[in-house]
Amino acid sequence: MSAMAAPVILAADSGPTILAADSGLGGLTILAEIRKALPQARLAYLCDNAFFPYGTRPDASLLAHFLDVMERAIRRVQPDLIVTACNTISTICLPQLRAATSIPVVGVVPAIKPAAQQSRRKIIGLLATPATINRPYTDALIQRYAADCTVLKIGSAELVEIAEAKLLGRAADRARVRGILAPFFDRPADAQPDVIVLACTHFPLLRIELQSVGPADTTWIDSGTAVARRVVEVLPPPRASALAADLALTSAACEETMRHALAQFGLAAIETLPT
């Protein structure tokens, strides 16, 4: 990936342009929080549907693919800031992506620190993709912020599929969700996690189904508001946007159901990513 030069045209009244990216539709949960925090921002969303799901891909091919697809998205959008709206990719790509571009990059990584702070029982549940669960980055977060906690881990690619399908119009099967979460809740009450980290940006799409499976006093934490706060903190002064309107880029053809889902998040203009 070559270094990407930033255009320098200034427009005093233009809002910032932010590019968020994920394998599919999950990163829209992050985009929605950014929109709340920065209503004046021009938002672009890369839905890398050609490579969905990320969570079962080997690290090396996923990283090479992501750097390539991001280079093309950055060229099209010319953002002021990039958000890797995906735990699976953020936990492997940040050093390489930051080396490849001068544009600031905000990652989305498992919210282990607030979970450890909020857990009274000192038992945390970590719900993520199989890739995120096994990453050294995730282990380092646990050692640094949750050394005093027991961390129960579930890595589920199936839950990602259920979340993506829900946004595409297929109702989530609660019995399947219950089965996936059984390792958290099929144990004595005092051995269950009281705080669960939604360490995949798809999972807030299933918040209602997830909450229905665990005890009512379980706390479910995702990274959305913290990421939006971080975006506001590190945003550089905006340049003139390359975009006429908010834009979704897909890496493969976009079906009608996906168009509908993107529109629900304010993304009516959709393009296939140029090669």
From 47, 86, 149, 254, the catalytic residue = 86
- In the complex, minimum distance from the CB of residue 164 to ligand DGL, in angstroms, rounded to a whole number: 8
Closest C-alpha to 246, from 228, 229, 268: 268
From 47, 93, 200, 254, the catalytic residue = 200
Closer of 16 and 110 to ligand DGL (Cβ):
110
- In the complex, minimum distance from the CB of residue 22 to ligand DGL, in angstroms, rounded to a whole number: 5
Is 93 known to be catalytic?
A: no
Angle at 124 between CA 110 and CA 26, to 5 degrees: 35
Closer of 164 and 246 to ligand DGL (Cβ):
164
Closer of 74 and 131 to ligand DGL (Cβ):
131
Q: Are 74 and 103 in contact (CB under 8 A)?
A: yes
- In the complex, minimum distance from the CB of residue 26 to ligand DGL, in angstroms, rounded to a whole number: 3
Task: Write the single-letter amino acid at 219.
Answer: T
Strands (E), the chain: 17-22, 42-47, 81-84, 105-107, 123-128, 150-155, 195-198, 219-221, 247-250, 269-272
Running DSSP on this structure, what letter comes out for residue 4? Answer: B
- In the complex, minimum distance from the CB of residue 73 to ligand DGL, in angstroms, rounded to a whole number: 16
Is 86 known to be catalytic?
A: yes
Distance separating alpha carbons of residues 181 and 132, to the nearest angstrom: 17
Strand duo 123-128 + 195-198: pairing: parallel
Closest C-alpha to 177, from 209, 214, 132: 209
Closest C-alpha to 178, from 200, 220, 210: 210
- In the complex, minimum distance from the CB of residue 201 to ligand DGL, in angstroms, rounded to a whole number: 4
Applying CB under 6 A, the residues found at the interface with ligand DGL are 22-24, 26, 52-55, 86-88, 129, 132, 160, 200-202
Closer of 119 and 201 to ligand DGL (Cβ):
201
Residue nearest to ligand DGL (CB): 55
Which residues are identified as catalytic?
86, 200
